[in-house]
Amino acid sequence: DKSEAVGETVDYKITGIDPGAGIMEATDRAIEDYDLDEWSVVTGSGAAMTAALKKAYDKEEPIIITGWSPHWKFAKYDLKYLEDPEGSYGGSEELHTITRLGLEDDFPEAHAMLQNFNWLEEDMAEVMIEVIDGEKPEVAAQNWIDKNEEKVTEWTDGIDKVDGDEIKFVYVSWDSAVASTNVVALVLEDLGYEVEMLQVEAGPMWAAIADGSADVLLAGWLPITHGTYAEKFEGKYEDIGTSMVDVKIGLVVPTYMDIDSIEDLK
Ligand code: PBE
């Protein structure tokens, strides 16, 4: 039977990422929803996951990863999402910009820019691909800004410059969050802000916004991926809008694998 074959080839392991990621919680849910008792999820990091993917892919070996888009892996490899008829991973998600309470009063110019901030999957992909090809994130971000003046002008149109106010971003080392945080940081620096970027884990990222020790996070994946965090800290943050729509999480495999659905793992 198909599932036994697949399970055995990957040792009944799904290659996951950092334990605080919403996609890990969703994967635990999938294991329950699809009765995948024999299966386990290996924790690690985004970088460890993509390293494992590269290693398997180069040898055309089977691998099942927790995957999301936007992500550069879809540009570098032929991959497919496994169908999720139970909806363990939700449907189409959105990226929300989340700020601490009071940011609008303290930094109205930054708040206005952040509210305007939105871009497309292919925009973010450009930055991510340059970074994975070896460019420094801040350089890749600046290159994207230089090539997309019109879009950036839309975000900053009519917003006054400030004089060195300090604003602090929190982000996780997910390639997607690295890309967006670097781009927005440069745009705010151009408006006169001094930007600090603090890399943390997912739980501490939400907690820092809720307790006011940081100002902004750009990687709020809602409604499902970070739903537990959003609920836990309800009333202690402001959701100021979406920066991207139609983003997605799920289980991802190379197209050379002969399975199509999470059900095939049962
Ligand atoms: N991700 C990328 C994150 C959000 C951004 C899908 C890995 C998560 O699962 O929490």
pLDDT over 70, % of the chain:
99
Q: Are residues 142 and 76 in the same domain?
A: no
CA of residue 180 to ligand 1 center, whole Å: 13
* Ligand 1 pocket mutation, candidates 25, 92, 176, 178, criterion most atoms within 8 A of CB: 176
- List, for residues 52-91, the tens digit of each pLDDT value: 999 999 999 999 999 999 999 999 999 999 999 999 999 9
- List, for residues 250-263, the tens digit of each pLDDT value: 999 999 999 999 99
**And the tokens for 174?**
């997910």
* Ligand 1 pocket mutation, candidates 15, 45, 66, 68, criterion most atoms within 8 A of CB: 68
Show the beta-strand stretches assigned E in the chain.
13-15, 40-42, 65-69, 79-81, 93-99, 166-171, 194-199, 216-222, 238-254
Q: How far apart are the C-alpha atoms of 84 and 261, rounded to whole Å? A: 6
Which residue ranges have their beta carbon within 6 Å of ligand 1?
17, 21-23, 68, 174, 176, 202, 219, 221, 225-226, 249
Taking 70 as the threshold, does the pLDDT of residue 266 lie above it?
yes
Complex ipTM value? 0.96
Task: Give the chain's domain count.
Answer: 2
Question: Cβ distance 216 to 78 under 8 Å?
Answer: no
C-alpha distances out from residue 151 to 71, 109, 112, 128, Å: 21, 17, 15, 18
Q: Which atom of ligand 1 is nearest to the CA of 226?
A: 10
Q: Which atom of ligand 1 is nearest to the CA of 25?
A: 9
Q: Are residues 122 and 197 in the same domain?
A: yes
* Ligand 1 pocket mutation, candidates 24, 173, 225, criterion most atoms within 8 A of CB: 225
* Range 3-25 average pLDDT: 93
**By residue range, what is the domain housing residue 201?**
93-246
Q: Are residues 161 and 42 in the same domain?
A: no
- List, for residues 147-187, the tens digit of each pLDDT value: 999 999 999 999 999 999 999 999 999 999 999 999 999 99
Q: Are residues 162 and 225 in the same domain?
A: yes
* Range 13-31 average pLDDT: 97
Taking 90 as the threshold, does the pLDDT of residue 3 lie above it?
no
Q: What is the DSSP letter of 262?
A: G
The backbone torsions φ and ψ at residue 136, rounded to the nearest 5 degrees and listed phi first, read -70, 140
Q: Are residues 51 and 24 in the same domain?
A: yes
Which helix (H) or strand (E) element contains residue 41?
strand 40-42
Looking up residue 147, the CATH number of its domain turns out to be 3.10.105.10
Question: Cβ distance 15 to 42 under 8 Å?
Answer: yes
pLDDT for the residue 5 = 85
Q: Are residues 144 and 157 in the same domain?
A: yes
Q: Are residues 66 and 105 in the same domain?
A: no
* Range 110-118 average pLDDT: 98
**And the tokens for 208?**
């820092």
Looking up residue 52, the CATH number of its domain turns out to be 3.40.190.100
Q: How far apart are the C-alpha atoms of 161 and 124, rounded to whole Å? A: 25
